[in-house]
Structure 1
Amino acid sequence: MKRRQLMGYAGAGLVTTLVTSLSSHRQAGAQSGGSLTVQWLGHTCFLFTGGGAKILVNPFRTIGCTAGYRPPKVAADLVLISSQLLDEGAVEDLPGNPKLIYEPGVYEFQGIKVQGIAIPHDRKGGKQFGTNAAWQWNQAGINILHLGGAAAPISIEQKILIGRPDLALVPVGGGPKAYNAQEAKQAIQVITPKIVIPTHYRTQAADNATCDISPLDEFITVMQGMAVRRSNSDTVTISSSNLPENGAIQVLSYKF
């Protein structure tokens, strides 16, 4: 049976809302063609806009590796949380009243099917930092996979669920809670996404003594041979009609 429970953020607390037959109230264009705008808000936090929906993934508190970023206080219709650690699960200051999903399972929201896939958040089977939810959904005709803070290899069963994403957001900076460059490469070889946006790496904003993740250069080096696109912006627009079949790395620039 499909999981049809959404957690809605309301004021200072969380309320449970039972969602019924949302497919009959499908929002026009939610999964159809068009274009998807992806904005990097720092660390593993991204805002996806397209198909009549705004989906925010992993808003954070400014602490540790996120201390130098601006708080991602942006409006969204739906918020996906990979874990309830401070760098991936801060919702108390978000504007409006977005719906919130933070547990693996299968959900529907405005005609969009959202699937949360459980992957350990550490290299000890989740015993250190628990379970990470990798999020998969289709928005504006783009199949999206956000791996959050995945730290374990992708299993055959998970690969079957994931298929081949058009866009994969992959942690690359290592540390105890996410893939390092070589582990990220192995995950990419398994899922073969058309576009990879690297996440969870050391930047000028994440350059402090308490941050134990590596810079992007290490990942780019191990991915030698894969095309790299560098943007001067924190935003990229993607459409299903111009996806690179052989794969490319898209690097965004955080705006300080």
Structure 2
Amino acid sequence: MELQFYGANCLRVVTKKAVVTIDDNLTDLGLKSVTKNGDIVLFTGLHGDVLAGPKIVIDQPGEYEVSDMSIKGVAARGHIEENDRHGTTLFRLIVDGVRIVITGHVYPELTDEQLEALGTVDILCIPVGGNGYTLDPTGALKIIKKIGPKIIIPTHYFDATIKYPVSQVSLEEAIKELSIEPSETVDKLKLKVTELDEATRLVILERQ
């Protein structure tokens, strides 16, 4: 299993049999789409048209078995939504035994039911840019403490080449506020379930 980061909240999960592209809203932010024909495409929230020909697009809660992976979407309140609205989807992927959760722009107070639906989490990919646009480091830390992942991957922070509609907190500032020192910075995260440590660590994924 290989995890790649493309800026904002866009990630790709690559296995021997499939590629999952997550939150590829890059064209709205002044970048090129990274979705390829045949990709499994996930969106945690609102999105525009998918430019390539995906194998399947999943943007709603539910349980899906696609190729060599299991995907679960869990309904959640968006970070600026009213209490009774659930316009965001948390995604949990099980890939080669590794359990990955992508939160998107979620409200930081997850319910017990949502936490139970997500279950044990090995890798948590979570926005930290804040400023009313997405989770800030304080909100991200609330989710991190509740979920207790083995690996934390911050996303959606300041990048001079990304045209965010709202300025985002820098990665350095987010790390300082999280009070978790990065264990490593990698181009891509290649991982087997047997390589997971028990202690929580922060891993920085370089943008592709």
TM-score (normalizing by structure 2):
0.89
Query: 1:12-51 CA distances to partner (integer Å, 9 max, x unpaired)?
Result: xxxxxxxxxxxxxxxxxxxxxxxx1111122111110115
Q: Hey, what does 1:201 align to over in structure 2?
A: 157
Q: Hey, what does 2:19 align to over in structure 1?
A: 54
Q: Hey, what does 2:207 align to over in structure 1?
A: 254
> 1:80 corresponds to which letter in structure 2?
L
1:82 equivalent among 44, 50, 53: 44
Q: Distance in 2 between matches of 1:176 and 1:114?
A: 29
Conserved 8 A contact 1:59-1:91: no
Q: Distance in 2 between matches of 1:41 and 1:127?
A: 32
Q: CA deviation at 1:61?
A: 4.2
- Over aligned residue pairs, what C-alpha RMSD do you find? 2.2
Does residue 1:179 correspond to 2:135, yes or no? yes
Task: Give runs of aligned pairs for residues 33-112 of structure 1, distance below 5 A.
Answer: 36-63=1-28, 66-67=29-30, 69-84=31-46, 89-94=47-52, 96-110=53-67, 112=69
Give the unaligned 5+ runs of structure 2.
Answer: none
Does residue 1:244 correspond to 2:197, yes or no? yes
Give the unaligned 5+ runs of structure 1.
Answer: 1-35
Q: Distance in 2 between matches of 1:123 and 1:251?
A: 27
Conserved 8 A contact 2:26-2:32: no
Q: Hey, what does 1:9 align to over in structure 2?
A: none
Deviating above 4 A after TM superposition, structure 1's stretches of 4 or more consecutive aligned residues are none
Q: CA deviation at 1:252?
A: 1.5
Conserved 8 A contact 2:9-2:22: yes
Conserved 8 A contact 1:121-1:177: no
Q: Distance in 2 between matches of 1:229 and 1:119?
A: 31
- Which shows bigger deviation, 44-53 or 183-192? 44-53
Q: Distance in 2 between matches of 1:225 and 1:100?
A: 34
Residues 191 and 226 of structure 1, relative CA distance in 2, 3 Å threshold:
farther
Conserved 8 A contact 1:167-1:194: yes
Q: Looking at CA atoms only, which structure, 1 or 2, has the larger radius of gyration?
A: 1
Q: Distance in 1 between matches of 2:38 and 2:103?
A: 20
Q: Distance in 2 between matches of 1:199 and 1:140?
A: 23
1:115 equivalent among 72, 94, 99: 72
1:159 equivalent among 95, 112, 115: 115
Residues 242 and 174 of structure 1, relative CA distance in 2, 3 Å threshold:
same
Q: Distance in 2 between matches of 1:224 and 1:198?
A: 13
Does residue 1:136 correspond to 2:92, yes or no? yes
TM-score (normalizing by structure 1):
0.73
Q: CA deviation at 1:164?
A: 2.1
Conserved 8 A contact 2:108-2:143: no
Residues 159 and 92 of structure 1, relative CA distance in 2, 3 Å threshold:
closer
Conserved 8 A contact 1:144-1:166: yes
Q: Distance in 2 between matches of 1:185 and 1:206?
A: 24
Of all paired residues, the percent bearing the same amino acid is: 21
Equivalent residue pairs, number: 208
